[in-house]
Every structure is written in C-alpha cells, then in structure tokens.
Amino acid sequence: MSTIKEITSLEAWEQHLSSLPPSTLLVVSFHAPWAAPCAQMATVLSTLASEYPVTEPASTSWVSVNAEDLSEISEAYNVTAVPFLVLIRNGTVLETVSGSSAVKVRNAIESHAAKVGAPTANGATTDDKEGEITTEEDPEKKKEELFKRLGDLVKAAPVMLFMKGTPSEPKCGFSRQLVAILRENAVKYGFFNILADDEVRQGLKEFADWPTYPQLWVDGDLVGGLDIVKEELAGNSEFFKPYSLKANGDSATAS
C-alpha cells in the first residue's frame, strides 16, 4: 500500500518531482501544524493512500508539504489556506481541493487516479473505446474495504473523537460538551468530522454497533458517547490520565 512522504526542503521537492514517471498521479497535501483540520485531512489521506498499491512504474505518489516552512512551493501552487490538496500529473495541475471535505478529496483523487482498462479504488473500470466508467461493485467487498478503513481510522490516534463538526466549530451540543471535557482534562486527541464523509458517518454506526454521535475511541476500542464518558469519569477521575498532556509533563495544547 502507498504511504505519504513528508517533503522537508525545496531540494527534496525538486528531486521527488524529477523522479516521477509522466503517468504518475502526484497527490500533494499542503498543511500547517497549527490548523486543526489538517490533522483530520492527514488521517483521511493516509487511509486513502493505503487503498492504492505500490506499482512499478508508480501509479500514484503521495507527499505532504508544510505550507509555511516551504512557502516557495505554496506560492507556486497558489496555496492561500490549509488544508489544500493539489493533484499533478507530468507537471500539470489537474485539480485542486481547498478545505477539509473528505468526500471532495476522495472523489478528486479517484477521478484522476483511474486508468483506462484498470480498476479504480471503488471497483469501477474504464472502457478503452467509449471512455465511460462502469461500476461492478461487490457489496460484501465494498463493506469489507470500508470496515478496514474504519479500523484504521479509529486507531489513527490513541484517543479519537468522531464528532459532528470540528473542535473549533462543533455542530451539535453533545459534540461541544465532549470537546470541552477533553480540553478540561488536557487530552491530546485526534478527531474526524463525520459530516464531511457520509460513508464513514453511516458505516461507523454498524462497525461500532453504536447508532449515535459523538463517539469516543481509546486505543482502538469504543468508549461510547457523551453519557458513557461522563459515567467513566464519575467512576474514575483519572480515566484520561494516561492521555493527558499535563500528566506527561507536556506543555503543549491539546487538539
């Protein structure tokens, strides 16, 4: 499976570009460490990359660029906000996606990663003569792939919050309260905005056997929703201690 390479210098960027075959789709993710949506997008892209096998020559290449540290590259691709995705093939920009919509990102990548006569990430194939995409989806295989993706997502961070909206802009009261609890306990956590990806939103209900949101996962296991988290804390005030920045002497701010 493909993985994401962090580009740390202009020289490394130029070397990477020159090493790619003309047919390779280059997926470039511009990010900034202070922008919370970038953490979510990193999880989304890591999961998407894992769905594409490593081939020879490479069909896809995935890189991540700190938009502030490497401003020369950012300016070259008109990056004015993060997260920002650029899809490039043979030096030509095919499409850009600004924002943290997992659906838009997945659709953009799948549309350009598709090759004539080859399967795409969702099981579709392209017809050489007509250029049309035909889909032959096996429901069981599709579910298996989704559950694999969800299995990776719930383990993306030791503490993962699946919520409506983002920590800075929760879209429901329960999500807002759970974010407040995590912040009060100085918990470092990852999050996923289920409103940005309906496949995850619906699939996680079955995967977790838990019908509502928010959902809090710890070390890959479901804790539950707001009420369950409150119950856990009522029974054990140190429930979050192993994941607390304060407990570990870290002065950084939690997600």
CATH code at 149-243 = 3.40.30.10
CATH code at 4-135 = 3.40.30.10
CA distance 164 to 176: 9
Give the pLDDT of the chain (255 residues) as one tens digit per residue: 789 999 999 999 999 999 999 999 999 999 988 777 888 888 889 889 988 988 888 899 999 999 888 989 998 998 878 899 999 999 999 999 988 888 889 999 999 986 433 444 444 444 444 444 444 557 888 888 889 989 989 988 899 999 998 888 898 999 999 999 999 999 989 999 888 888 889 999 999 999 999 999 999 999 999 999 999 999 999 999 999 887 655 543 344
Q: What angle do CA 250, 176, 36 make, to 5 degrees?
A: 50
Region(s) of the chain under CATH 3.40.30.10: 4-135, 149-243
CA distance 8 to 65: 7
* Cα separations in angstroms, 81 against 35, 36, 196, 248: 10, 12, 18, 33
pTM across the whole model: 0.52
Q: Are 79 and 70 in contact (CB under 8 A)?
A: no
